Structure 1
Amino acid sequence: MTPNTLLAASLFAVVSSITPGPNNMMILASGVNFGFARSLRHLFGITLGFGLMVLLVGLGLHTVLDRWPVIYSTMRWAGAAYLLWLAWKLANAGPPSATASRATQPMGFFAAAAFQWVNPKAWVMAVTAISTFLPAQAQPPHVFALAALFMALNLPCVATWGAFGSAMRRVLQEPKKLRLFNMLMALALVGSLIPMLT
């Protein structure tokens, strides 16, 4: 990549990673409900899962999606359904307690990594990155470099949302305030789907 392309790709990675979307809404809510340290597996799952997506799209997965667009549409709608289910769970979540069940634990590494494959915003970001910043006949080292760049810049951007959520825990100690916050985050999660599905 030329220096200009590298700069443009870096700006795209930062802007697309730090703006609101399903990952950021979920890591913000996780930071509030569970704290930053307990949300780290979720955070690393997002970053590595998305980096793998960029890598595989760049190595040719996008051609499969171009050939069979029904696969992309199916994943997009499956992702929307999953996000609605997560929003419903979040809206109905109570305050975490010492005796909380596994259902009230933060999202784990593998679940967060797998979520990228049904996350409409992640697909838009990955396909846009590959089609915009790599030449048509890009070699694997270039694809690896772009995926590494996205992971390196995605991690601090998403971590900012988790850290902000963790800092808000003090303000949201009361169950009523936490419940209101969770409902607002559920609505934001649903709202993040609108531009991606229309």
Structure 2
Amino acid sequence: MSPELLLPLCTFAAISSITPGPNNTMMLASGLNYGFVRSLPHLFGITCGFSFMIFATGLGLHVVFEQVPVLQIVLKYGGALYLLWLAWKLAHAAPMSAEQAALSRPMGFWGAAAFQWINPKAWVMSLTALTTYLPQGFGVGDAALLAGVFGVIGTLCVGCWAMFGVAMRRVLQDPRSVRIFNIVMALALVATLYPLLA
């Protein structure tokens, strides 16, 4: 990858990672409900899972989707159904007491990493980055650099959403406010499906 492409790549990684999407919406809710430290496995699952997805796709997994196009349809609608299920769970989640929050668990590393493979926004970001920023005839090192850039920048950007959720804890003190927040976040999660289904 040429040095002059590195700055535009970092800019694209930052903009695409900080804008609302399924990962960021879930991190915001996780920060609110569980705090920053308990949300870290979820955060690292997102960034490591997405980085691995970019790397694997760059090394040739995209050829599988070209050869078997039905897999794209399965991932597209399977991901949409999973997002709707997550939104339903979030909308119906009762506000947790401190004791309940201590006993319940946020999404873990492996669940968050696996989620990237059915996350529509992750696929769009991954394929756009691969086709835009990797040179013709790129090598393993180029794919690794691309994945690494998204790993570092994504961790910072998605982490901001978790910290924003933590900051919201000071504002959302009563159960009714938390319930409204969860419903709004569920609707935001559903709204992330619009580009996929439009």
**Cα deviation, residue 136, structure 1:** 3.2
Q: CA deviation at 1:129?
A: 0.6
Cα 1:3–1:80 change in 2 (3 A) is same
Match of 2:4 in 1: 4
- Compute the displacement of 1:35 (Å): 1.0
Structure 1, gaps ≥5 residues long: none
Equivalent AA in structure 2 for residue 153 of structure 1: I
Partner Cα distance (1:71, 1:29) in 2: 30
Residue 170 of structure 2 aligns to a residue in which SS?
A: coil
Unaligned residue ranges in structure 2 (runs of 5+)? none
Q: d(CA) in 1 for partners of 2:37 and 2:115?
A: 20
Q: Distance in 2 between matches of 1:89 and 1:149?
A: 33
CA contact (8 A) 2:91 2:183 kept: yes
CA distance in 2, matches of 1:159, 1:69: 34
Q: Is the 8 A contact 2:34 2:101 kept in 1?
A: no
Aligned to 1:151: 151
* Runs of 4+ in structure 1 over 2 Å off: 99-102
Shift of 1:101: 9.2
**Take 2:72 and 2:136, find their aligned partners in 1: how far apart are those partners?**
20
Report what 1:112 is aligned to: 112
Which residue identity does 1:84 align to in structure 2?
L
Letter in 2 for 1:42: H
Would you say 1:160 and 2:160 are equivalent positions? yes
Question: Which residue in the other structure is 1:63 paired with?
Answer: 63
Q: How many residues align?
A: 197
Q: TM-score, normalised by structure 1?
A: 0.96
Q: CA RMSD in A?
A: 1.3
CA deviation digits over 1:10-42, x for unaligned, max 9? 111000000000000000011111111111110
Q: Deviations over 1:42-70 (max 9, x none)?
A: 00000000000000010001111122121
2:178 counterpart residue number? 178
Secondary structure of the structure 1 residue equivalent to 2:169: coil
Task: Work out the CA distance in 2 between the residues paired with 1:136 and 1:81.
Answer: 36
1:114-162, Cα deviation, whole Å (9 max, x unpaired)? 0000000001111111111112321101111111111011000000000
What's the % identity of the aligned pairs? Answer: 55
* Partner of residue 88, structure 1: 88
The 8 Å contact of residues 55 and 144 in structure 1, kept in 2 or not, is answered as: yes
In structure 1, C-alpha distance between the alignment counterparts of 2:33 and 2:102, rounded to whole Å: 14
